[in-house]
Amino acid sequence: MKTVLILGSTGSIGKSTLEVLDLHKENFKCIGLSANKNFQALHEQANKYSVKNICIQDGSTSETDIEKNSDIKIYRGSDGQSEMIRDMDADIVVVGIAGAIGLEATHEAIKTGKRVLIANKEPLVMCGEFLLNEAKKYQSEIIPLDSEHSAIFQCLQGSSKDDVNKIILCCSGGPFWDKKIESFEKITVQDALNHPIWKMGEKISIDSSTLMNKSLEIIEASVLFGVDANKIDVVIHPQHIVHSMVEFKDGSILSNLSAPDMKASISYGLGFPKRLESGIERLSFSDLSLNFFEPDHKKFPTLDYAKKALSLGGNLPLILNSFNEVAVDLFLQEKINYLDIFQLISHAFDAKDSLDINIKFDTVDEILHLEALSKKQAKVYAERYTF
Ligand SMILES: NC(=O)c1ccc[n+]([C@@H]2O[C@H](COP(=O)([O-])OP(=O)(O)OC[C@H]3O[C@@H](n4cnc5c(N)ncnc54)[C@H](OP(=O)(O)O)[C@@H]3O)[C@@H](O)[C@H]2O)c1
């Protein structure tokens, strides 16, 4: 029996993980769950799946009668989350937290020296080298859950990195890839949240609409697979059946296909190297029509930001991520317009002169310090756009 801890269990990745685990009760046992502030949903999950440990971030949630009369242990705050990760010492930790806020928990999970399934791409973008070094030090096994990175991970099994000619990241294109740029001015929060394929959390849905998600994924892929960003291409594939591809030096290409459902990569990560039933819909090839298009870099300048940040080097990816998080947050609060997101992110490259982009990180606190300074800068630039 393998024990599993799910961080960010009330979100889209967390819920899908619980669904997969429910298919494998004889081999996997979920022993802990965490969320930010959605205490009721967290408690309901714990009851439904008989989980005895939960952690809520939001310290304002005080003890309720439900808690007093329950045998569920409740941890609180980010220290509580770290404590729960250490106490549980689970065989597998799933990190489904959204955003840079997941860094501390990701690091704590890595320190357990166990298998860590990472959906939370932002920490990998911010300080991938640091996290991979820590994984080596603590001998933890990182397996990506992002469908594209899971696909690449699967395609690379049994192959040498030296034989890789390029990685082709598939991109569903979000809701606006084929819309005229003139229509971008009027895009509302609701339009941008309405992803045609995936039902995801708000942050990643906005990132998918601006294609900033793909930019973050280029950095994530470069970090995880040790491949130069110039060897990573993006192709628009609206059906998102092909999750991504690896072209090898002999010209052959391996890809991973399935119905677009995160349960596919979650079940792969849980069972690796074995395959588990995932519960996803099966494909019928005679009904499929697969299309691929070049992305429009003029409409989506965000696509070029990853390679620019990686070529400038140092901590530019962290700064880029911070500017994006501030921009998405302001857009979700309807304080800036959709097109302002692109403008605000582009200032990450101006801010680099006033931030220490070359500092080498030894601790998570140092990373969080630069992140805080970077977000502060982003908010100063944002004053030009907020209304
Ligand atoms: N959704 C997808 O299909 C998908 C695909 C690929 C990659 N990803 C990546 O996976 C991550 C999660 O995405 P998502 O769509 O599942 O997001 P989501 O639906 O917004 O869920 C985020 C989860 O994290 C929790 N959370 C937030 N801050 C936390 C903290 N400090 N400590 C513990 N839990 C915290 C939230 O709790 P509350 O409910 O209390 O707010 C929620 O459970 C993102 O980095 C995203 O880029 C997602």
> Where do the domains of the chain lie, and which CATH numbers do they carry?
2-144 (3.40.50.720)
Task: Look at ligand 1, atom 17, and give the residue with the nearest C-alpha.
Answer: 201
- pLDDT at position 343: 96
Cα-Cα-Cα-Cα torsion 89, 46, 267, 240, nearest 10 degrees, comes to -130
- Mean residue pLDDT across the chain: 95
Helix axes of 77-88 and 103-111: crossing angle, nearest 10 degrees: 20
- Which residue matches tokens 């090898």? 248
pLDDT at position 63: 58
CA pair distance 246, 224, nearest whole angstrom: 14
Given ligand 1 and candidates 20, 53, 108, 204, which is best to mutate, with the most ligand atoms within 8 Å of its CB? 204
What is the pLDDT at residue 64?
63
pLDDT digits (tens, 9 = 90+) for 152-188: 999 999 999 899 999 999 999 999 999 999 999 999 9
Which residues of the chain fall short of a pLDDT of 70? 59-69
Distance CA 221, CA 121 (A): 10
| Pocket flag, ligand 1, residue 84 (CB < 6 Å) | no
- CB of 32 shorter than 6 A to ligand 1: no
Contact yes or no for 91/2 (Cβ under 8 A): yes
Q: Is the CB of 248 under 6 A from ligand 1?
A: no
378 within 8 A of 349, measured Cβ to Cβ: no
Instruction: State whether the beta carbon of 13 lies less than 6 angstroms from ligand 1.
Output: yes
Cβ 329 under 6 angstroms from ligand 1: no
Per the CB < 8 A criterion, the answer to whether 353 and 199 are in contact is no
pLDDT at 69: 61
CA distances from 290 to 137, 168, 243, 255 (A): 42, 15, 12, 13
Specify the DSSP element, H or E, that contains 349: helix 348-351
Q: Containing H/E element for 152?
A: helix 147-156
What pTM does this model have?
0.96
The one-letter code for the residue type at 368 is L
Is any atom of ligand 1 closer than 6 Å to the C-beta of 98? Answer: yes
Phi-psi region of 70 (alpha: psi -120 to 50; beta: other; left: phi over 0): beta
What residue's CA is closest to ligand 1, atom 29?
A: 36
Report the DSSP pairing between strands 242-248 and 232-236.
unpaired
State the residue for tokens 């900033």: 212
Give 268's contacts (C-beta < 8 A, 6+ positions apart): 143, 150, 154, 275, 276, 278
Distance 160 CA to ligand 1 centre (A): 32
Name the residue of 97, 101, 147, 266 whose CB sits within 8 Å of the most ligand 1 atoms, as the mutation to test its pocket: 97
> Hey, whose CA ends up nearest to atom 47 of ligand 1?
204
Q: Is the CB of 81 under 6 A from ligand 1?
A: yes
269 CB near ligand 1 (under 6 Å) = no
SS3 330: helix
Pocket of ligand 1 contains residue 119 by CB under 6 Å: yes
Report the C-alpha gap between 180 and 319 in whole angstroms. 29
Predicted local confidence at residue 387, as pLDDT:
81
Farthest-apart Cα atoms in the chain, separation = 65
Tell whether ligand 1 has an atom less than 6 A from the beta carbon of residue 121.
Answer: yes
- What's the pLDDT at 130? 97
Which atom of ligand 1 is closest in space to residue 9's alpha carbon?
43
CA 11 to centroid of ligand 1, rounded, Å: 5
**Ligand 1 close to Cβ of residue 38 (< 6 A):** yes
- Ligand 1 center from residue 163 Cα (angstroms): 34
